[in-house]
Amino acid sequence: MKIISYNVNGIRAATTKGFISWLEEESPDVICIQETKAQLDQMPNFELHSIGYKPYYFSAQKKGYSGVAIFSKQTPDNVEYGMGIEKYDYEGRMIRADFGDLSIISVYHPSGTSGDERQAFKMQWLSDFEEYIKELSKTRQKLIICGDYNICHREIDIHDPKGNAKNSGFLPEEREWIDGFIKSGYTDSFRYIYPDKKDKYSWWSYRFRSRERNKGWRIDYCMVSENIKDWIIGAEILDNAYHSDHCPILLTIK
């Protein structure tokens, strides 16, 4: 089973850059999308259906902002839209699809780069999200949580750890949170396959020719609950896809 996670930074923009033909060629069983930045009537539904995908969306109330989706070849048994927490669901940050006893989540963690207020929102979200997942795992024990976490975990995950030590996305408290989340029972699938691989990133600034120079950050993850980590047979960063300032990440499971 192939699962891809991809922050497309606008599904409409990505579609004009060849996203649909790329998706057809890559052919994952499930793709988790973040930052759709679109409402239901703006989504490429015809194109997705034509290549065999059933799309499920959870958009932000604010137009042109945030939003997550899951596209699946198989019809899920159940789809849950949001976390049931109004201030987060207003921003369209999480969607879950259940396939038997396996649940796949597409999540878009907030960014704190715009200032102190959003950084505080991000830290509160991280705390509330962890509590939500802890509660969810009591009934849905086999979880794959894919998405843009907006955090680099370790120095190996960022091109310039010293220069970014005080920047949102690599702050000590953020790194401590993701470290604690993993220790609470989750496996970073990429590091499971490649524990020491350097210079592999999933996001690059549009400024300073960052992608061309590979000055990036690894902030996108497919986290797998510890009880199914032995299902992981492959994990890759698909950095030859250019529809966004992010690139897709791939998880292959038994």
At 133-142, the pLDDT tens digits run: 999 999 999 9
Per-residue pLDDT, 12: 98
Tokens representing 204 are 């690059």
* Rounded Cα gap, residues 169 and 111, in angstroms: 7
Contacts 24+ apart (CB under 8 A), 81-85: 81/56, 82/58, 83/128, 83/129, 83/132, 85/128, 85/132
Crossing angle of the two packed helices 116-136 and 172-183, in degrees rounded to 10: 0
- pLDDT confidence band for 121 (50 / 70 / 90): very high
**Mean of pLDDT values over 186-203:** 98
Decide if 35 contacts 10 (C-beta within 8 A).
yes
Of 116, 148, 199, 220, which residue is the catalytic one?
148
Which strand (E) or helix (H) includes residue 227? none
- pLDDT confidence band for 250 (50 / 70 / 90): very high
Indicate the number of domains in the chain: 1
Query: What's the CATH code of the domain at 163?
Result: 3.60.10.10
- pLDDT confidence band for 254 (50 / 70 / 90): very high
What does pLDDT average to over the chain?
Answer: 98
Range of the domain at 45: 2-253
* Rounded Cα gap, residues 194 and 206, in angstroms: 27
Q: Is 148 a catalytic residue?
A: yes
Per-residue pLDDT, 205: 97
**Mean of pLDDT values over 201-212:** 97
CA distances from 236 to 192, 203, 232 (A): 11, 14, 11
pLDDT over 70, % of the chain = 100
At 14-67, the pLDDT tens digits run: 999 999 999 999 999 999 999 999 999 999 999 999 999 999 999 999 999 999
* Rounded Cα gap, residues 110 and 240, in angstroms: 25
